[in-house]
Structure 1
Amino acid sequence: MDFSKYGIRKEEFAAAEAALGREPNECELRILGVMWSEHCSYKSTKHLLKHFPTRGPKVILGPGENAGIVDLGDGLGAAFKAESHNHPSAVAPYQGAATGVGGIIRDILALGARPVASMDGLFFGDPEHPRTGHLSAGIVKGVGDYGNAVGVPTVGGKTAYDSCYNENPLLNAFCIGLVELDKIVSSQTARPGQLVVLLGSKTGRDGIAGAAFASVELSEDAKESRPSIQIGDPFAEKMLIEACLELKEKNLIVSMQDMGAAGITSSSSEVAAKSGVGMKLHFDRVPLRAEDMEPWEIALSESQERMLLIVEPKNIDEVCSVARKWELDCAVIGETEEGDDYSIFFHGEKVASLPATLIGDGCPPIHWPAEKPADFEKRWNFDLDGLPVPGDWNQALLSLLGTPSMAPKHWISEQYDSMVQLNTVRGPGHPVSVLRVKGKESLIALVLDADPWKCGLDPFSGGAETVARTVRALSVAGAEPLGLTDCLNFPSPEVPGQYWALEECIKGMAAACVALGCPVVSGNVSLYNETKSGAILPTPVVGTVGLIPSPDDYLLSGAWEEGDVLFFVGPCNPSLAGSQYLRSLGLSPAGRPLGFSGEAEKDFSERALRTARAKAARSGRALAGGGLAAALAKDSAESGLGAHITLGIPTRKDVVLFGEGGARALYSVPMSRVPLFKAIWSGYPCLELGRAGGDSLSVDGAFSLTVARLREIWRNN
C-alpha cells in the first residue's frame, strides 16, 4: 500500500490496524492521515511541550482547550491564543493570512469569549528578493481586510525580515477575548443523547486536507497546494460571532468547538474524545456548496466560518431561530451516544467507524533523533577586536534604525483598524499594546515578540530571551504578567540538528517561564517551515498578557519632559551576538548571546513593577532590538525632546550602545522623584545618563542627531 497517498507512515498504519482489529477503509485512512498529521497531532513535540509550566495563581484554563484563560478579577477572564498559518500564507498570501485571522478569532469564540483584540507575527524575506514584495503585501492586506471587516482591532505585533523567510514567510495570528468566568463554554461537556449541530457557512472543497499540507515541506510548485487554501468571509464570521454569543447568553449551548484544521472531523471527534462520548454523524445532512462531495471530503473540508455545537434536543428549535436571525445555515448532523465509537453515515451507509480517542490521541509519538551539530560552537566565534568602531556614529545609528526589521511599520499598521470597539489605549508601534475593559479600572497589556537570530546562535538562551523580553516590557509598563501563548515555528524535525534546536528552544523558554512565574496557557506548533532553498531560523513567537491595576499605574514610553533625569538600569555588558547592529552592517549573526539569569530577570521585573506603581518615573522602555541607542532614539523621537548623554563606562561604546540581551531599561525621571527611583533600584546596576531637553540627542564621543531628523525617520518609514 502507498501510505504516503494518505499522509501516514507505515508504523502509523500498523497502529491503526492493531487498534481496530482490521484494516482501515479509505475514508478512515484519509481521516487518520489528516488527524495524525504533525499539524493536528503534535506527534513530534507533545513530549517536549511537557517542559512548559502550565499552572499559576491566575490560570483558569491551561492547554487542552481552544485557548487559555487567565483571571482578570471581578469574575472576568481573558481568553487568548496564538496560531500559525504559514504554509497557506506562502501559497496564497491574502487568503492564507485572512483565514489565519478568522481561525484564531473562532478559537477564542469557542470558549464563549467575545474577541476584543488581535496581534500578528509577520516574518518576511529579504526586501530585495523578488517574492518578498508580493508575499508581504498580500499577507498584510489579508490580515487588515479580515480584521477590519469582522470588527476586531489589530493593536500590535512583531514584524521581522530575513532571507531565511524568502520562500517561507510566517504568519502568526494572536487573539484575545473577554469572558465571564461562570459562563465559559467548554469542548468537554457533551453527554449522550444530545444533538450535534453545524452552524455557519456551507461546506465546500476549499481547504481539504489543509492540516496535512501544513505538515510537510513546501513544494516548489506552489500552485499544486492551492486546493488546500481556505477562502474567508469576514462578514459571515461577524454573524457567527454574534450568533454564538447570543446562544451562550441564552444557555442554549452544551459544548462548542471551532472548525479549523480538519474541519468537521477534528471538531466533532475532539468534543467526543474529551467528553467521553460516542458520536454518530450523518454527512448527507451537511449543507454543501458542492453537491457531489465525497464523505471524506465533507469530513476534512476546512471551509471557514463554521462552528460545531452540542445542543439539548429541547433547545434545537430556539437554536435554529437564532441562526435564522443571523442568516446562518444551521443543521442537525448527528447525535452523541454512550461509548467511544465515532461513526459517519452517508445516505444510510456507514462509511467510517473509529474510536474517538484513536482519532485524536492515538497517533504514535515520534522521538526524532536530536543531535547538536558538530560545528555548532563555530557560530559563537566572533572577533570583537576585529570589528571596527564606527567612523561615523550618526550614520551607524541611522543605518541601524533604517534596517527593515527596525524601521517603523506604518505601511502595515495604517492598513489595520486598531481603534474599532473603542477599547484601545495604546496601539501598534509601541513596546506594549494596552486595552481598557469597559466597567473595570484595570487595563490589559499585550506583547508579542521573537528573536530568531539569537535562537539560531544559541537555542536555549534565545528561547529564554524571547520569553524574558515580553515580561520585561510588561513589567516596565506596570503590568503583572498573567500568562503567555506561543507559536513554535521551526523547520523539519527529521533533521537531527534542527530537532535539537527545537528541543533546546523549548527548554530555554520553559526555564524563563518558571523563573518569571509566567505559565504557558495555550500555544501552537508549526514544523516543516522550509523549502528547497533552505530552512527558516528557529522562530518561537511569544505573546504575553499582563494586567495593569489602574490607568495611574501605567507607565508610558516616549514621554520625556524637559529636565527629566535619564537613567539606564541593568548590566553594562550586553552582547553584539545576533544583534540588529551587526545585521545593519551586513554581517551574518555570530557570537554567543548572553546566558539567561532567572534571578536577575526576576529582580528586574519586581523593581520595574515597583517603579511603575510608585510613580517613580515618567517614562520607561525595556531595551530590546538595537539596544540602548535604539531606545534613546525612539524615546527622543516620540517625546519630541533631545538629551545630552554621558557614558562613563570603560568599555567599547558600540557594545554598550548597540548590544542586546539581559534585563535592562531606559527611564526618564522627574527631578523630584530621583531619590525614590534610586531607592527602588538600589543594589541593581543603575547609571544616570543625563537630562532630557533641547532639540538634539547626543552621546559624548558618539552620535549627535537632531530630534527633527529622528522624527523624520519615524514618519517616512
Structure 2
Amino acid sequence: MTLDTVKNAEQTPDTSLPWAELGLKPDEYERITAILGRRPTGAELAMYSVMWSEHCSYKSSKVHLRQFGEKAPESTAMLVGIGENAGVVDVGQGYAVTFKVESHNHPSYIEPYQGAATGVGGIVRDILAMGARPVAVMDPLRFGDPHEADTKRVAHGVVAGIGGYGNCLGLPNIGGEVVFDACYQGNPLVNALCVGVMKHEDIHLAKASGPGNKVILYGARTGGDGIGGVSVLASETFESTGPTKRPAVQVGDPFQEKLLIECTLEIFREKLVVGIQDLGGAGLSCATSELASAGTGGMRIELDTVPLRDATLSPEEILMSESQERMCAVVEPHNVDRFLEICEKWDVIATVIGEVTDGDRLEIYWHGEQIVDVPPRTVAHEGPVYERPYARPEWQDALQGDDAGKLPRPATGAELRDALLRLVGSPNQASKSWITDQYDRYVLGNTVLAQPEDSGMVRIDEETNLGVAVATDGNGRYAKLDPYAGAQLALAEAYRNVAATGARPLAVSDCLNFGSPEDPAVMWQFAEATRGLADACQVLGTPVTGGNVSLYNQTGQTAIHPTPVVAVLGVIDDVTRRTPMAFAEEGQLIYLLGETREEFGGSAWSQVDHGHLGGLPPKVDLEQEKLLAEILISGSRDGMIDAAHDLSDGGLAQALVESCLKGGKGARVVVPEGQDAFVTLFSESAGRAIVSVPRSEELRFTDMCRARGLAATRIGVVDGEVLDVQGQFSVPLAELRQAHEAAIPALLG
C-alpha cells in the first residue's frame, strides 16, 4: 500500500476514504475538506475522526456546558478552571488541589478488568499533568440487575481492575458509590476520580510554546491496544448482542504508571518542562494537536521515531492508539539531556519526536514524507458544535403522575421492622464492604476518612493537619423523574456529605452520563440536568472546575437513567477535628436536623418494597442546604458534635442503622409527636442530617441551631446494642448487621 502523503492527497482528490467507518458524518467530512482545501490524508482523517468524536469534542454538549462558565459563582479559590486536564483550587497554606471525575463506561462493559483499570490510570495521569502528586482515587459505579449472571461478570472485573491498578499504584481509594439497577444492564457506568496536591507555583498547563523547544514522548511504547477507543466505544450506542470490539479497549500496566508518576514529579521539581499533556483518549492525535493549539500554534513531529511495541502499526494506527502510561512534554533544548537522564533513572523510555515551530501548522512526517499538515485548532478545539433538538418526552407526565404515595405502606410496628430489614439488606442499601475491602484505603498513611463515611478525607500537610474531603453522588432514579431537580439533588447530597465531615465545600467536578444525544428525549434530560446543576452551583457558591460528558450510554434503543454524578471537594483546616458517622459514646443525644416531609418519589423504599419508580423526587431547598452545612461545619469545628451522617437514600431509618453499625452502639429513638412513624423513618426529604451531641454541648448546639433558624429535633440517645424505635419495634444490632452485610457477598461472592 502506497503511503498517503499530503502531496498525494492534493493530486488524488477523488480517492475514497473510510470516513463513515471512523464515525464521521457526511457534513463533517465535507468540513474537513473545506478546512484543508483538499481531501485529507489517511493520517489526517484518523486524527479528525478521533478528535471530533463525541467523547473528545463534546460536540452535542458544548452548547449546554457553557452555562458552567456563564453562571459560575465568584470564587477566590479557583486557580484553574474548565478547559485544562483538571481544575485546580486554592486550599490555603500555599497548597493547591486538583481533582476531576471522568468516565470509562463502554470499555468496562467490553473488558471489565482493563476498562476499569485504565479508567483509573487515565484520570491519575490527568491529575499528574497538572503538576500535582496524586494522593487518592474514588470510583462511583453503576451496575445492572444484581441477580443477572452478566452483572457478576462485569462487577467482578470492574472491582478487580480498580483494586488491581489503584493498589499497585499505591493510591488509597477513599470513596465512591455502588448502585445496581436494571437500566445499566448492558451499559454499566464506571466513573473514576483522582485528587492531587501541589504548591501554587507548581501548576502546569498543556501548551506548546517557544519555537525550537523539543517535543518528548515518554512512558510506555505505543501498541495496537485502544485504537479507536474513544470514537469506536464511547461515541456510539451498544447493540444488544453482547460484548464486542475488544481491541478498542486499552491495556494497563500500573507498575509502568508508578514509574511514570515518580519520573514526572522529579522532572517537575527540576522545572524542566514548559508544557505537558498526558496521552489518554485519542492518544498522540490529542496530545500533539492540543499542545500545539494551546501554544504558539506550530509543531513538527517525526512519527517514525515513536517507540513501538508492534512494528507493523501504520501511521494512522500510531496516531489513534490509546496505549496507556504515556506523556508528552515540551522541553527547552538546554534541558533535554537532563530530562532524558531522569527518564533513564526511572527506567522510562523517552524519545524526542519533534519540536515547536514558529508557524501555525501541525506537521507530521513519516520517514521523511509529510502525512499531516493541519491547523491544530481545527483538530483540537474547533470541532463540530451541534444544537441537537430536544423535547420533553411524552411519557414524562405519566411518570410523574404515578405517585409513590398511593403504594401500600407498613402500618404496624412489626411491618415497619420488616420493611427496615428489607431496606438495609437490599443491594443498593446494603454494606459494600465486600467491594471496598478489595481496595487499599490507607496506603500513604494520610487517609483520615474512607468508605463508608459520608466523604473520603485525606491529610495534605502533616505539620498543620490541613486536609481535603471529597464526596461523589448521583441518583438516576431522581433524575429520571425530574432531570433538573435530580442534578441538583446529586449536588446537594455531595455538598451535604462533605459538610457532614466538617469540611467546607469549595468546588465541583461532574461526570454526566446519558443516553444517545440523537434522541430528543435524552437530549432534553441532558439540557435540564445541566441547567439544574449550573443553577445550583451558582446558589451554593461551588464552581464547576471540569469534568466529563459520557453519551450514548444505551443498549439498542434503551437508554440508562439520566445519571449526573457530582463530585464536591471541600477543605478542612485540621483533620483531627473531623466528624465521623459512627455513634461512639453511650448517652450522647441524637438530633435530627432539617424538615421531614412526605416525599417518596424515587425512594429506596418504593424500589425495594414495590419495584416502583414514579412521582416527583424530593424538593430541593439550596438555601436550607447551605444553612445545614454551616451548622455541621461549625458544630464540628467547635466540638459540639461527635458524629454526623447525612440523610439521603433510605431516609432516617438507613442513616440510623449505618451510624449504629459503624460505631457498634445502639440507639433509642422516638417518633416526634404528631408525626407518622413510616414517614419519619423512610421519607427521603433533602437537607437533613443526624448528629450525636455530648450532653455537655446540648444547650450550646441547640442555641446555635435556633439562632440560625435550622430545625433541630431531639429524637433519641445512643444506648445499648439494639436499635429501638420506641412504641414501634426494636432490632438487635447483630440482626441488622447480618442483613446489612450478607447481601452483596450472597449476590456477587
Determine if the TM-score, normalized by the shorter chain, exceeds 0.5.
yes
The CA distance in 1 between the partners of 2:587 and 2:691, in whole Å, is 13
**TM-aligned CA deviation for residue 75 of structure 1:** 1.2
State yes or no: 1:362 paired with 2:382: yes
Contact 1:646 1:700 in 2 (8 A): yes
Counterpart position of 1:662:
686
What is the distance in 2 between the residues matched to 1:701 and 1:379? 36
Q: Aligned runs of 1:448-597 on 2, under 5 Å?
A: 448-532=472-556, 534-597=558-621
Specify the alignment match of 1:16 in structure 2: 32
The offset of 1:533, in angstroms, is 6.6
SS at match of 2:20: helix
Deviations 1:458-480 (A, max 9, x none): 10111000000011111122111
CA distance in 1, matches of 2:404, 2:143: 29
Q: Secondary structure at the match of 2:362?
A: strand
Does the aligned pair in 2 maintain the 1:76–1:178 contact within 8 Å? yes
CA distance in 1, matches of 2:241, 2:214: 43
Aligned to 1:350: 370
2:526·2:562 contact (CA, 8 Å) conserved in 1? Answer: yes
Going from structure 1 to structure 2, the CA distance change for 1:699 and 1:255 (only over 3 Å counts) comes to: same
Q: Which secondary structure state, in structure 2, belongs to the residue aligned with residue 635 of structure 1? A: helix
Q: 1:660 to 1:386 in 2, by over 3 A?
A: closer
| Alignment partner of 1:273 out of 269, 273, 293 | 293
Give how far 1:18 is off. Answer: 1.9
1:499 and 1:355 map into 2 onto residues whose CA distance is: 31
Decide whether the 8 Å contact of 2:667 with 2:717 is kept in 1. Answer: yes
CA distance, structure 2, for counterparts of residue 146 and residue 583 of structure 1: 34
Change in CA separation of 1:118 and 1:32 when aligned onto 2, cut-off 3 Å: same
Cα deviations by residue, 1:447-505 (Å, 9 ceiling, x for unpaired): 11111110011101110000000111111221111111111111101111110001111
Q: 1:287 corresponds to which residue?
A: 307
Q: Secondary structure at the match of 1:6?
A: coil
CA distance in 1, matches of 2:459, 2:330: 33
In the alignment, residue 684 of structure 1 is paired with which amino acid?
L
CA drift at 1:419: 1.1
Residue aligning to 1:393: 416
Residue in structure 2 matching 1:703, options 729, 732, 743: 729
CA contact (8 A) 1:94 1:139 kept: yes
Counterpart contact for 2:219–2:260, Cα < 8 Å: yes
**Counterparts of 2:407 and 2:157, CA distance in 1:** 42
Return the TM-score normalized by structure 2. Answer: 0.93
In structure 1, distance between residues paired with 2:285 and 2:685: 45
The one-letter code sitting in structure 2 at the alignment partner of 1:693 is D
Q: Which residue of 2 aligns with 1:625?
A: 649
Distance 1:45 1:346 in 2: 35
Q: Offset at 1:306?
A: 0.4
Tell me which residue corresponds to 2:163. Answer: 144
Tell me how far apart the structure 1 counterparts of residues 557 and 369 of structure 2 sit (CA, whole Å): 47
Deviation string, structure 1 residues 180-224 (Cα, Å, up to 9, x no partner): 110111113522211110001100111011110210012345554
CA contact (8 A) 1:456 1:538 kept: yes
Distance 2:372 2:406 in 1: 68
Pairwise CA RMSD: 1.5
Contact 1:485 1:544 in 2 (8 A): yes
Cα 1:691–1:559 shift into 2, 3 Å = closer
Judge conservation of contact 2:129–2:278 (CA < 8 Å) in 1.
yes
The answer to whether the 8 A contact 1:123-1:160 is kept is yes
Secondary structure, counterpart of 1:405 in structure 2: coil
Judging changes above 3 Å, is the alpha-carbon distance between structure 1 residues 390 and 230 closer, same or farther for their aligned structure 2 residues? farther
What code does the residue aligned with 2:211 have?
P
Residues of 2 paired with 1:647 and 1:634: CA distance? Answer: 18
Return 686-695 or 462-471, whichever deviates more: 686-695
Contact kept, 8 Å, 1:109 with 1:115, in 2: the verdict is yes
> Do 2:593 and 2:688's aligned partners in 1 also have CA atoms closer than 8 Å?
yes
* Map of 1:236 onto structure 2: 256
Offset of 1:322 from its aligned partner? 1.0
**Amino acid of the residue matched to residue 637 of structure 1?**
L
Q: Deviations over 1:212-240 (max 9, x none)?
A: 02100123455541111111000000110
Q: Distance in 2 between matches of 1:178 and 1:407?
A: 33
Match of 2:712 among 674, 686, 689: 686
The code of the aligned residue for 1:180 comes to K
1:640 Cα deviation from its structure 2 partner: 2.1
Contact 1:695 1:707 in 2 (8 A): yes
State how far apart, in whole Å, the 1-side matches of 2:313 and 2:467 are: 48
**For 1:479 and 1:67, how far apart are their aligned partners in 2?**
21
Other structure's SS at 2:62 match: coil
Instruction: Give the secondary-structure state (helix, strand or coil) at the position aligned to 1:478.
Output: coil
What's the counterpart of residue 180 of structure 2?
161
Q: Is the 8 A contact 1:167 1:533 kept in 2?
A: no
Matches of 1:485 and 1:44, distance apart in 2: 19
Q: How does 1:643-662 map to 2 (within 5 A)?
A: 643-662=667-686
Provide the C-alpha distance between the structure 2 equivalents of 1:406 and 1:636, rounded to a whole number of angstroms.
15
The alignment partner of 2:152 has SS state of helix
Picking from 165, 176, 181, the partner of 2:200 is 181
> Per-residue deviation at 1:617?
1.5
Taking structure 1 as reference, are residues 570 and 615 closer, same or farther at Cα in structure 2, changes over 3 Å only?
A: same
Q: 1:105 aligned to 90, 111, 124, which one? A: 124
Paired position in structure 2 for 1:92: 111
Q: Alignment partner for residue 25 of structure 1, among 32, 36, 41? A: 41
Q: Relative to structure 2, which stretch is displaced further, 52-61 or 256-265?
A: 52-61
Quickly say closer, same or farther: Cα 1:586–1:386, change in 2 above 3 A.
Answer: closer
More deviation, 240-249/471-480 = 471-480
How many residues align? The count is 717
- Once residues 431 and 148 of structure 1 are traced to their aligned partners in structure 2, the CA distance between those partners, rounded to angstroms, is 22
Between stretches 36-45 and 57-66, larger displacement belongs to 57-66
Closer, same or farther: CA 110–408 of 1 in aligned 2, 3 Å: same
Q: Give the C-alpha shift of residue 420 in structure 1.
A: 1.0
Q: Which letter does structure 1 place at the counterpart of 2:388?
A: W
The structural deviation recorded for 1:651 is: 4.4
The separation in 1 between residues aligned to 2:379 and 2:302, in whole angstroms, is: 18
Tell me if the contact between 2:216 and 2:350 (Cα under 8 Å) persists in the aligned partners. Answer: yes
Within the candidate set 431, 445, 451, 2:469 is matched to 445
Q: In the aligned structure 1, how far is the partner of 2:259 from the partner of 2:576?
A: 37
1:402 lines up with 2:425 in the alignment: yes
* Stretches of structure 1 lacking an aligned partner (at least 5 in a row): none
* 1:168-207 superposed matches below 5 A: 168-188=187-207, 190-207=209-226
Verify: 1:384 aligned to 2:431, yes or no.
Answer: no
Q: What residue in structure 2 maps to residue 600 of structure 1?
A: 624
Whether the 8 Å CA contact 1:397–1:703 is kept in 2: the answer is: no
Tell me how far 1:109 sits from its aligned partner: 0.6
CA distance in 2, matches of 1:13, 1:678: 66
Residue type of the partner of 1:315?
N
Partner SS, residue 281 of structure 2: coil
